[in-house]
A = this chain, B = another copy of it.
Amino acid sequence: MNGPNLNKLGTREPEIYGTSTLADIERLVSERACSLGAEVRSFQANGEGELIDWLQNEQSAADGLIINAGAYTHYSIALRDAVAGCSMPAVEVHISNVYRREAFRHESLLSPVCTGTIVGLGVHGYELAVEALVQLLKKN
């Protein structure tokens, strides 16, 4: 699940986010999941409500969550509640190293309700998240 403005990846501030597009990321994630015997459904929206709606609708069909909530990471308590309500392993991803940017990007409301977090490793971070999630699900 990808949050606001991530549909603009590749053209938006590429010196921060790189040149991969959201489609590139979704393909990378699918391929890595496939190679590990898993399947992925992707979603992106700019609206907080749409993201929560999708989470609520998909959660019964899913075993885990990879989430990059973009700017909502830092203030959406509603999204945090929705993730906490899913009761499944979740891995949070950030493409850029948020700790080198504005102070308001240093705190994540999602981290405490996710299992783990991968920050600053570019789009490769999504692939690592797939591997982590598959590993987490195996253990349970």
Task: Tell me if A's interface is mostly helix, strand, loop or mixed.
Answer: helix
Each complex incorporates copies of this chain amounting to: 12
- Among the interface residues A104, A111, A116, which one has the most CB atoms of the partner chain B within 10 A? A116
Known contacts A4-B52, A81-B5: A120-B125 contact under CB 8 Å: no
Whether, in the assembled complex, A121 has its beta carbon less than 8 Å from a beta carbon of chain B, the answer is yes
Whether, in the assembled complex, A39 has its beta carbon less than 8 Å from a beta carbon of chain B, the answer is no
Residues of B within 8 A of A135 (CB): 121, 124
Residues on A close to B: CB < 8 A?
3-5, 7-8, 12-13, 45-50, 52-53, 56, 70-72, 74-78, 80-82, 84-85, 91, 97, 99-100, 104-109, 111-112, 114-121, 124-125, 128, 131-132, 135-136
